[in-house]
Amino acid sequence: MVTGSTSGIGLGIAIALGEQGANVMLNGFGDIEGAKAAVSATGARVDYHGADMTKPDEIEAMMKACAASLGEVDILVNNAGIQHVASIEAFPIERWDAVIAINLSSAFHTTRLALPSMQAKQWGRVINVASAHGLVASAQKSAYVAAKHGIVGLTKVTALENAQKGVTCNAICPGWVLTPLVQKQVDAKAAALGLSDEEAKRQLLAEKEPTLQFTTPEELGALAVFFCSEAAKNTTGVAWAMDGGWTAQETACLRPEHAKASSRCGDAFFPCAAQSREGTRCQPTDSLSCTCASKRCTSAG
C-alpha cells in the first residue's frame, strides 16, 4: 500500500517495489491510468483506491479494499502530502487542518489499521516519507514542518512498540525532489525573479543543498526496497536523510559565554550551498546553535 502514489516520490517507490515482486495498491489523484500502467509494466498486480486522506472512514475503506484485492498489507508506505506556504499569523486555518490531516494523521490511520495483520504474521514494514523538514525547519512552512516532525516522532514510536514483533518502521527524509509540488515552487521563483526554469531550479537547490542536485524518486525507491530487505531487519526507528547534505549543515555550539572553553562558534564558517567555495560566517545567538547571518556567499564571508 503506497499512499500518494500516482506521481513523484510515491510512484517511484511503487515502481521500485513492483520490480521486486510486490503487488501494489495505489492512491492519489492526477494521471491514475498512467500510474497504474507504469507499475503494471513491472509485472506487479496493481489496484487503485481514491480515498480522501483527510477522512478516516475512507482510509479504512481503502485498507479493506487492498486486503480484498491484493491481500493484507505487508508493506505500508505513507507518502501522501500537500504543502501551503504562509507566515504563522497569516496561515489559513483550513489549510493548516488539511496539511496536518493529510501529511500526519493519515499515516496514523493507515498504520493503526495495518499493524494487526503485520503483528499476526510477525513480519511487516512501515515506511514513512518524511522530509528534511522533519529534521530541521524553514520559515513560512509551519504546518508542513510540524507534520513532518510529527511523522518522525510517529516513526520512532511505531518502531519501539513493534521492536519484538517482526515489524520495522523507518522514515525517509528527502531534500529537494523535483515532484509536481516542488515544480510549483520553482515556477513561483522563476516568475517572481524573472528567471529561466533551470536558473530557478539552481537557486532553489542553492538555498539548501550543497550537492546542487535533486534527489530522484528512483533513489528513494531504492532506499525503500532496502528497508524491506533482510539486510534491514534490524534497522528500525531511523529518520534517514537523503538530502544532498542539507541537514549536515546544521550544527550546535555552546552559548557565547561558554564558547571559549570548547568551541569556535563565533569564528565558524559553514559551507555555502552555492557554486562558490566562499564561506558564510555564522554568529552565536542566545540559543544553543549558530545561525548564519546570510545565505549569500561573498568574498568577505
**Which residues are catalytically annotated?**
144
148 contacts 134 by C-beta, under 8 angstroms: yes
Q: Is 14 helix (H, G, I), strand (E, B) or coil?
A: helix
Q: Measuring CA to CA, which residue among 17, 11, 60 is closest to residue 38?
A: 11
DSSP bridge pairs for 271 = 279
DSSP element (H, E) containing 18? helix 8-19
Q: Give the C-alpha separation, 124 to 14, whole Å.
A: 16
Cell digits for 182? 516542488
The DSSP code for 162 is: T
Q: Measuring CA to CA, which residue among 144, 135, 132, 127 is closest to residue 229?
A: 127
106 contacts 54 by C-beta, under 8 angstroms: yes
Q: Give the C-alpha separation, 288 to 251, whole Å.
A: 9
